[in-house]
Amino acid sequence: MFQILYPIFYLYLMTIENIFKVEYTKINNIWLIVVLRGDIMLNRNIFVAVSDSENYNVFLENLNREYENVQLFYQKESLIKSVEFLSHNQSYLDNNIFVIFSETEFITPISKYLKENLDDLSYVLICLEDKNQAPLNICANIFDHINAGSPDFDMILFMNRLESEVLNKSRITALKIQIREFYEIGKRLSSERDIFKLFDMIINTSLKITRADAVTLYLVADKHTDEWCSIKDSDYQDKIMKFVISKNMSIVTNLQSFTTPITKKSIYGYTAINGKALRIDNTNNISPEMEYKHDNSFDMKTGYKTVSMLTVPMKDRDNNVIGVIQLINKKKEASPVDYRGSNWTEKIIPFDYFDELTMNSIAGQAAVALENNLLYKNINQLLEKYVEQNEKLTVLSSKILKAHEEERKRIAREIHDGPAQSAACLALKVELCKKHLERGSLDDLSAELDKLGNDVRSTVKEIRSIIYDLKPSYLDDGLFAAMQNHISVFQDNTGLEVDYNAAGADLNIEYYISSTIFRILQEALTNISKHAQANRATVSIEIADNELNLNISDDGKGFDVTSLTEIRHVDIERGFGIEGMMERVELINGSINIDSAINKGTTISIKVPINKH
């Protein structure tokens, strides 16, 4: 509650400074605020509507002594037009109150206009005749009735009452203005989605509210990931402070982003660790007993003069520190300071308790806005990743279906070209055996049965080979063993020499990864034997640091890699080809690189991330 009320009171005080003559004095470390009456209505619009000014000569003379801007009207229409013009052309921040004196004959239309068009706090209406002389239907929005033309009129007593009324309305108006300002600040901070615009808004708001000459924004980041984080319960281990943005109203600065360790030796580090605001009246007079000290390297390089300082922590909803706002050199006036001049020290004043309370409130709003902004950004990134992954999943699903269909076609083709034809041939040979039996040609029958037996065994072998291809039993003993066995069979069947090297542990790899790698090896060796015209091939596989690396190379005729787009779509009849290999690697979230040149052989390199179960 106090964090809200005190900043509002302070901002109200800043508004009062524009109305009254205010002086500050410091006694025993306590700032006393002295409001001098002086030119109390200097910025006020004083209007007087009378039919004959001769009746109020003494009153008007006294009024002109009190106020500098007294305007006399002899027609109510002229007064109303002046009020209308001024009220439409002043900002709500001006807080200018109209003080209107009117004779009874003008009071009713003027009162009606004011009630219908102006806020009650924006004017004070006085009737220049006492109640006994005023009509019974007099308006309710009149502050006072005075007998201004009477020699017995007590001008001093009335002025004191009027001064009190104007002051009260100014106070309430100032509070309304500042509440509105805080509401607008909070609304702008919470609605800004651009992180850099939000940073700029934070520092500009800080400069405007405190009349500081410079401001710097630091954020807490993780030492290892550089991601923004927070300090909880003063635990700043593995945290760094990251310079984000700075603004100086008096000199041109071009500071580059940097990070710095969080330590109590620096003023902003001390604030971040303790989680409390730190006000320093003069950085040159910091006691040696303090843990922190002012780093004047910036002043030495630029000629700037850092004197007063206010450093405020930015705390999130959980009261954790996510950053620091550092304000430098509060000014008496908003204009820039020439630090090369002789009287610059007269323009710099200390930050006060009200600045601290105000900035605590602003820093809290900024921290929540920043946290919301980062959360909004993270949610958007997650949604983008979700959409991207969903699109990839759709593509991969179609590729899986395509791979399954191609696999069915391959199996059907192998069965058709192998066991199916063998079975048809066996059927014919059985019929031939029947005929030999019917003829009594036992020798021929015996010879044919021997052939039939060999063909049956060959057919069984083909069927077992197909079953083996569908789920190699060797994979039960690990990927390395299955590859070694297949390479041995391949060498026996083709006579092509293959060097095989394996490193790492393969027993806990997911089955779908092992089977995919095994299929790729099968197809790669098949392509080498059929198309590469190679004399030697090399297969090496290594599993380390949750990554599988497979390299298959040959010394064959090679091909032009630039034509890989066309090559990917050929040779489907002899397997799933290069395109199929690429798709299979993509299905297991891997990457594939094919390096080849004409008459210089081919090397296929595959990398796959693995999660051992």
pLDDT in tens, 347-397: 999 998 888 888 888 888 888 878 777 777 777 777 888 888 788 777 777
Check residue 565 and give its pLDDT. Answer: 54
- What are the angstrom distances between the C-alpha of 511 and each of 386, 474, 580, 588? 27, 12, 19, 11
> What is the model's pTM?
0.49
Domains of the chain: 45-188 (3.40.50.2300), 202-371 (3.30.450.40), 472-613 (3.30.565.10)
Check residue 37 and give its pLDDT. Answer: 40
Angle at 189 between CA 268 and CA 351, to 5 degrees: 40
Dig out the tokens for 359 from the structure.
Answer: 């900035």
Query: 289-294 long-range contacts, Cβ below 8 Å, gap at least 24?
Result: 291/264, 291/265, 292/264, 292/265, 292/266, 292/267, 293/265, 293/267, 294/267
Task: Read off the pLDDT of each residue in 481-500 and give the average, rounded to a whole number.
Answer: 89
Task: Read off the pLDDT of each residue in 409-428 and give the average, rounded to a whole number.
Answer: 81
Phi, psi dihedral angles at 147 (to 5 degrees): -95, 75
Whether the predicted pLDDT of 566 surpasses 80: no
Q: Which residue shows structure tokens 């001006």?
A: 94
Check residue 91 and give its pLDDT. Answer: 57
> What confidence tens digit (pLDDT) does each residue in 146-205 have?
988 888 888 889 888 888 898 888 888 777 776 777 667 666 766 667 777 778 888 888
Buried b (16+ CB within 10 A) or exposed e, 360-390: bbbbbbbbbbbbbbeeeeeeeeeeeeeeeee
Whether the predicted pLDDT of 612 surpasses 60: no
- What are the angstrom distances between the C-alpha of 501 and each of 114, 218, 232, 461, 508? 97, 54, 52, 29, 19
Q: What is the largest CA-CA distance in the chain?
A: 162
Check residue 472 and give its pLDDT. Answer: 60
Task: Read off the pLDDT of each residue in 222-245 and give the average, rounded to a whole number.
Answer: 87
Q: Which residue shows structure tokens 């040959």?
A: 554
Most confident of 300-304, 432-436, 507-511: 300-304
Q: Give percent of the chain with pLDDT exceeding 90.
A: 22
Check residue 22 and give its pLDDT. Answer: 47
| Sign of the C-alpha dihedral computed for residues 556, 560, 565 and 569 taken in this order | negative
Whether the predicted pLDDT of 132 surpasses 80: no
Interatomic CA distance for residues 109 and 98, integer angstroms: 16
Check residue 442 and give its pLDDT. Answer: 82
> How does the average pLDDT of the chain come out, rounded?
81
Whether the predicted pLDDT of 456 surpasses 80: yes
> What confidence tens digit (pLDDT) does each residue in 55-83 have?
888 889 888 888 888 899 999 999 999 99
Dig out the tokens for 89 from the structure.
Answer: 């052309």
Check residue 422 and give its pLDDT. Answer: 79
Whether the predicted pLDDT of 568 surpasses 60: no
Check residue 262 and give its pLDDT. Answer: 92
User: Is residue 218 very low, low, confident or very high in pLDDT (cuts 50, 70, 90)?
Assistant: very high
Check residue 436 and give its pLDDT. Answer: 81
Check residue 564 and give its pLDDT. Answer: 62
Check residue 77 and give its pLDDT. Answer: 92
Check residue 8 and give its pLDDT. Answer: 47
Whether the predicted pLDDT of 4 surpasses 60: no
User: Is residue 15 very low, low, confident or very high in pLDDT (cuts 50, 70, 90)?
Assistant: very low
Dig out the tokens for 328 from the structure.
Answer: 């430098």
CB neighbours (10 Å) of residue 555?
17
Task: Read off the pLDDT of each residue in 255-274 and give the average, rounded to a whole number.
Answer: 89
C-alpha closest to that of 22 among 272, 332, 237: 332
Whether the predicted pLDDT of 20 surpasses 60: no
Does residue 356 or residue 403 have the better pLDDT? 356
Does residue 584 or residue 473 have the better pLDDT? 584
Interatomic CA distance for residues 327 and 215, integer angstroms: 4
C-alpha closest to that of 8 among 167, 169, 164, 176: 176
Interatomic CA distance for residues 609 and 455, integer angstroms: 45
3-state class of 555 per DSSP?
A: coil
> What confidence tens digit (pLDDT) does each residue in 289-344 have?
999 999 988 888 888 999 999 999 989 888 899 899 999 999 988 888 988 888 89
3-state class of 551 per DSSP?
A: strand
